Amino acid sequence: MVKNVTVFTTNQCAYCHMVKKYLDNKNIKYDEVNLDNQPNRRQEAISLSGGMTVPVTLVTQHDDSRHVVVGFNLSSLVPLLA
C-alpha cells in the first residue's frame, strides 16, 4: 500500500509532465517539488536518484520502505503503485 508519493519536477520537463499526468489520471495524490521554484531542494533529488535529472518519483509504502523511480518509466512505477 502506498503512503506517499513525491515527484521532483521542473517547469519545462516533458517527462515530468507525463509522470504527473499519469498519476492524475489514476487519481493518485502526490506532492510536487518543483526545482525551478525550490532550487534549494535540488540536492535532495540528486541524493535520491544519484543523478542530476528529473523527474524523480519517490514512493513511500505503508511499511515506510522508500522506492525511487527516475524518469517517466512506467514499468518501474506501476508495480510500486499497485
Task: Find the binder of other proteins among 26, 27, 29, 52 (CB under 8 A).
Answer: 52
- Pairwise CA distance, residues 60 & 62, whole Å: 7
> Hey, which residues between 4 and 33 contact other proteins (CB under 8 A)?
10, 12-18
Does 47 participate in binding other proteins (rule CB under 8 A)?
Answer: no
Q: What angle do CA 17, 69, 45 make, to 5 degrees?
A: 80
Question: Is the CB of 28 or the CB of 74 nearer to other proteins?
Answer: 74
Q: Which residue pairs, CB below 8 angstroms and at least 24 apart, start in 39-48? A: 41/8, 44/8, 45/8, 48/8
Residues that bind other proteins (CB under 8 A): 10, 12-18, 35-36, 39, 42, 46, 49-54, 67-68, 70, 72, 74-76, 78-79, 82
